Structure 1
Amino acid sequence: MDKIRQNEKRAELINLLRWIVPMAVLFIYILALLANASSEAKKDGRKYAENKLSDYDRYIAEKLRYDLAELKTAAEAAAYSVELSGSTDQAVLTLQRVIDNGDASEGYVIDAGGKATDVSGAATDVSGAAWYADAAEGTAEGKPTVTGAVPEGEDHIITVAVPIGGEKGITALRVSSDFFRMIPSLSEFDGKTQYLFIESDGTVMSAVGGKGLKKGENLFDGTIMYDRGIAMPELKSSIAGEHGGVAYCTLGGEERVLVYRPLKMNGWQVCELATGSFVDTEIEKYFAPSKKVYIRIIISLIIFLILMLVMNLIITALYRSNQKSLKSKAETDLLTGVLNKISTEQTIQDYLENVGEEEPGMFLLLDIDNFKKINDTRGHAFGDEVLAAIGKELPTLYRTTDIVGRLGGDEFAVFLKDIPNENARLHMGDVTYGFFRNFSVGEYTKYAVTASIGAAMFPKDGKNFEELYKSADKAVYTAKELGRNKFVFFGEDPDEISNRV
């Protein structure tokens, strides 16, 4: 029976694993897919943040080019008026309007010898100025030019120069590189991102926004260590070659993202230094909708697995209950309610095999006296009533751990566990024998029913069911020879039986 129970438990475990293992594998597989999708979404989020910065960097570069083009247009208008009228008056007024609008800081009409008239009408000599030499050289071929930014004090000054036809000189508008500071002032990245206007050698001409580099510092000095995607030599080469790109770096111990874009003019670059936290925030914003979906999927999977597990447990419980009911019916004698013959033999035998010989027990075999006469005189229905009454009352005499069963016909078997000594043996014999001394059946007329009882001790009189049964059966035979309604131990002397009874 124990082996049967073990097999049943093993079958239940296998059945449970048959549900759990595929579900667990599916769950892990889906989690792996979600983890991969999450990783890809974060990569896409980083790309999204980089593109967002790049788009604004492009806007700043285009705005710078537009503003410088506007200065060039104003200088061309001034040069054209000088060329037509031969007078500087109208040209000076044109340049003055540009300065009044705040688009430039200085304006000049300069003749071929370097003699200049500024917007106030004052004459000055700029022939020895470095910026004039650059402007004159740049316009030598008769084309407008934007000269490189010349350091003057703390400022870097850009000169927009246009030649006056007939080699009569140039018109020039000069503006501080800090005019760049006005462009990103309305940026949505204010407070998080620093904007830089740099030369091709990395010198910062203007800086605005969050903390980072200052005007006059160099992008390539030791304060920045590039640690992802692009190394310092590659960055220098990329900027010098007027290419754009994205580089990850640390500045002052803080992770930064450098986005740079060429102005396509004098090697200048427009750069953004975004904080790592800004990029992380943008990634989180980009990833948030997907994250919600992933969380819902995971929660749904967990709920699904729990429901499947609960369903399996319910089905297993119902199956177990049904099996227990079927097993009980299969093991129970339908008439008496005690174990049937096969179950009685198997249960006792399993117990004997497991307990060994260290724990003595007592096997009782009960044979109803004159049962054939009861059937013949009272009818089989009454005989069944007798058997049913015995099956109902007999188990109440013993412990719940003891084994009570019907072997067939009018024969019952009882195995009493843990009968350690002679007193216990005699006591249980008296209990069983006393039951039949007071036992009767019948609703109106009581009919006394007795039994011949044989007892065999384990392991002395038998070490398995068959041996115990044979010994107890011999004791029953002795009880019948002595006139029935007797309790006899196997091997007991007839005189002892008489004295005990």
Structure 2
Amino acid sequence: MRLNWTDRTILRKGDKAVKQLQRKSLYRYAAALFVFLCYLGICLAVFFIGIQRAVEKNTQTLLADNVARQSSLMVSLMDIEFETLSGMASYIGSQSDAQDNQRLMAALAGESKFHRISYFTLDGAGYSNEGPVNMDARDRDFFKKSIQGQEAVSSPYESRVEGDEGREFIALSVPVYQGGAIAGVLVGSYDVRHISEIPFSSLYGGSGYVYIVGKDGEVVAMDSRYSQQWDRVNFYDFYKDYTFGPGASLDSVRDDFNNGNSGVRLLKKGSDIRYLAYEPMGYNSWFLCYVVPQEDAQQSYAFIREYEVALSLFVVAGLIILLSVMQYINAKDRKMLVTKAQTDAMTGLLNAVSTREAINAWLAGEEACGMQALIMLDIDKFKDVNDTYGHAVGDEALRQSAGLLRAHFRGSDIVGRVGGDEFIIFMKNIPDDAIVIKQLERLCAAFHSLRVAEAPELRLTCSAGAALVPKDGVDFDDLYKKADEAMYMVKRGSRDGFYIYRA
């Protein structure tokens, strides 16, 4: 089989095939990587969103439970104070000595959390442990409730008397009975900030603050640390510029207050993000409210964020490893594809296109120096081998011939199969043509020793022709043409030999 080496279409098609294989391989890996990254991104997003929602839900649940417990504790503390007042009211109702009662009230005020203890008769006049009270109690709501036999709690404004300005006092009142009938009202003035701050002092490192608010938004009492910040501003007015969490608004909080419902809301104002938890107290439609920064409320879940960061780092490291492995596999596949595109499948030698490219690259490079030799070799009467013994024997003969050529020449020399039974050998940097002659003599003799197991009687010979650089040319086309002419001089003769081209 003869090749027309001037037909450059073959070369272009070969180059194009290699590039197409490389592009297909790259696209395949890029598509697989893109799908994997999308899947991984979705999984991580779902995971992190799920974790955040779980943290948010657990935080709000824990916050609601804490506020409910603290509200219950505050009510219990107030119940204790009511019991103290009721016990004293029973004593006062059992005797009528005002001075003795005043001394008793002074002693109780000194030993309890009450700031002032006052006794009012049914006409609204009264005295306290500090002396006469300059106030007519008949128009006060707590007085009206207690003379009806109820325990009552007043707002700070309603319980204020002269000298109480700027103080957060509420009034706890109980009826005083004499002879089975209500004879007056016993009132204890209580600093509500004390009762509201103590239960929350250990929560979230004390970073939150507490206040009591009525359903109309009136602030009944405020944590002393933040009282100036509020300065009697209505609850609804204070939070009107805040954004509430999903599905919530200031109106929904107002509805909860009006309906006596508890709740937890997420508040946002710029970078300020905090929780508002509220719980009805059971007195005067008051609500115990607690506000804490989101970061502090979720501090117990900080380890989850650390795990999220660690997981993210592991994922990034895994991606780097994955990309490295894929790059390695891709490079290996590309090398395999290039090798496959450059190699003759039958013999494992370079194919025609790659042989030409390799020789031209060597001739154009700087490493080529001195004499070079291009050898054309053809197996004699190879068509007869195929016709007589079959193509399987012919293929095996080609493989053994290729093995012989690889073993006979240096590893740095270029050996390729360029046609059915035609081979090219390019000897690099040889001292003179004597080495070419010696190698070809040995090669022709070695062919006599080749045996094919399926046809032991088969004897193979070869014909070879050589052209030298620079004497016969300096590019592949010239050298190939002249080596081919030299080889056919042998084939036209007795075959089984070689010839060095002579002009």
Normalising by structure 1, we get a TM-score of 0.63
- Name the residue aligned to 2:237: 221
1:291 aligned onto 2:308:
yes
Structure 1 CA distance for aligned equivalents of residues 499 and 18 of structure 2: 43
**Structure 2 match to 1:195:** 210
What is the alpha-carbon distance in structure 2 between the residues aligned to residue 295 and residue 309 of structure 1?
A: 20
In structure 2, how many angstroms separate the alpha carbons of the residues matched to 1:110 and 1:452?
135
2:175 maps to a residue whose letter is P
In structure 1, the partner of 2:66 is 56
* Matched residue SS, 1:213: helix
| Contact 1:204 1:219 survives alignment (8 Å) | no
Moved more, 237-246 or 69-78: 237-246
**2:187: which partner in 1?**
172
Q: 1:394 to 1:265 in 2, by over 3 A?
A: closer
Distance 1:267 1:253, change over 3 A: farther
Q: CA deviation at 1:129?
A: 3.0
Change (3 A) 1:476 1:438: closer
| Structure 2 partner of 1:141 | 148
Task: Tell me by how many angstroms 1:86 deviates.
Answer: 4.9
State the number of aligned residues. 429
Shift in alpha-carbon separation, 1:406–1:225, aligned structure 2, 3 A: closer
Shift of 1:26: 5.0
Give yes or no for contact 1:256–1:275 (8 Å, CA) kept in 2.
yes
Q: Displacement of 1:262 after TM fit?
A: 1.9
Supply the distance in 2 between the matched residues of 1:438 and 1:365 (Cα, whole angstroms): 11
Note the C-alpha offset of 1:188.
3.2
Equivalent-residue separation in structure 1 for 2:464 and 2:318 (angstroms): 67
Question: Does the residue aligned with 1:167 lie in a helix, a strand or coil?
Answer: strand
- The answer (yes or no) to whether the contact 2:125–2:136 under 8 Å persists in 1 is no
Give the Cα–Cα distance (whole angstroms) in 2 for the partners of residues 284 and 392 of structure 1.
68
- Stretches of structure 1 that go unaligned for 5 or more consecutive residues are 333-338, 369-386, 418-426, 443-450, 493-501
Q: Give the structure 2 partner of residue 205 of structure 1.
A: 221
Name the structure 2 match of 1:420. none
Query: Quick check: 1:248 aligned with 2:266?
Result: yes
Q: Is the 8 A contact 1:194 1:211 kept in 2?
A: no
Q: In 2 relative to 1, CA 432–479 (structure 1 residues): closer, same or farther, beyond 3 Å?
A: farther
Q: How big is each residue's C-alpha offset from its partner over 1:423-474, in whole Å with a ceiling of 9 and x where there is no partner?
A: xxxx99x9479836997899xxxxxxxx99587999xxx99x9x98985565
- Taking a change above 3 Å as real, the CA distance of residues 300 and 103 of structure 1, as seen in their structure-2 partners, is same
Tell me by how many angstroms 1:227 deviates.
Answer: 0.7
- The alpha carbon displacement at 1:117 in A equals 3.8
User: Residues 356-396 of structure 1, C-alpha deviation per residue, up to 9 Å, x if partnerless?
Assistant: xxx9x99865799xxxxxxxxxxxxxxxxxx99x9689967
Q: CA deviation at 1:84?
A: 3.6
Matched AA of 1:53: L
Taking the aligned partners of 1:253 and 1:476, their CA distance within structure 2 comes to 93
Percent identity, please.
12
Q: 1:435 matched to which residue of 2?
A: 437
TM-score normalized with structure 2 length = 0.62
CA distance in 2, matches of 1:38, 1:254: 22
2-structure distance, mates of 1:162, 1:289: 55
2:256 to 210, 216, 238: 238
Are 1:261 and 2:271 counterparts? no
Change (3 A) 1:190 1:469: closer
- Root mean square deviation of aligned Cα: 5.8
Deviations 1:255-312 (A, max 9, x none): 3322222212112222122124324545534x34753784587378558847975995
User: How many angstroms does 1:101 deviate by?
Assistant: 2.7
Once the two structures are superposed, the pairs formed by residues 42-441 of structure 1 within 5 Å of their partners are 42-86=52-96, 92=102, 95-119=105-129, 122=131, 124=132, 128-129=135-136, 133-150=140-157, 151=160, 152-165=164-177, 166-180=181-195, 182-184=197-199, 186-199=201-214, 200-203=216-219, 205-209=221-225, 213-221=229-237, 225-229=241-245, 230-250=248-268, 254-279=272-297, 281-285=299-303, 287-288=304-305, 291=308, 294-295=311-312, 298=315, 302=319, 305=322, 309=326, 330-331=346-347, 347=352, 351=356, 400=413, 414=424, 431=433, 435=437
CA distance in 1, matches of 2:170, 2:56: 36
In our comparison, the structure showing a higher alpha carbon Rg is 1
| Separation in structure 1 between the aligned mates of residue 270 and residue 492 of structure 2, nearest angstrom | 107
Q: 2-side partners of 1:143 and 1:438: how far apart?
A: 127
Cα deviation 1:323-382 (Å, max 9, x = unaligned): 98xx789527xxxxxx6xxx7xx6279749x99xxx9x99865799xxxxxxxxxxxxxx
| Partner residue of 2:43 out of 33, 36, 51 | 33
Change (3 A) 1:64 1:97: farther
**Distance apart, 1:116 and its partner CA:** 2.6
Structure 1's 7 and 82: CA in aligned 2 closer, same or farther, altered over 3 A?
A: same
- 88 and 77 in structure 1: CA distance in 2 versus 1, 3 angstrom threshold: farther
Contact 2:210 2:290 survives alignment (8 Å): yes
Q: Which runs of 5+ in 2 are unaligned?
A: 1-9, 365-371, 380-400, 446-462
In structure 1, give the amino acid aligned to 2:167: D
Deviation of 1:163 after TM superposition, in Å, equals 1.7
Q: Is the 8 A contact 1:246 1:257 kept in 2?
A: yes
Deviation of the 1:149 alpha carbon: 2.7
- Preserved CA contact (<8 Å) 1:204 1:217: no
Take 2:438 and 2:331, find their aligned partners in 1: how far apart are those partners?
46
Partner Cα distance (1:392, 1:214) in 2: 95
Cα distance between partner residues in 2 of 1:195 and 1:348? 86
CA distance in 1, matches of 2:414, 2:333: 27
CA distance in 1, matches of 2:375, 2:99: 140
SS at match of 1:274: strand
Please give the alpha-carbon distance, in whole angstroms, between the structure 2 residues aligned to 1:98 and 1:480. Answer: 139
Contact 1:20 1:309 in 2 (8 A): no
Deviation at 1:475, TM superposition (A): 3.6
8 Å contact kept, 2:169–2:189: yes
Relative to structure 1, is the Cα distance of residues 132 and 476 closer, same or farther in structure 2, using a 3 angstrom cutoff? same
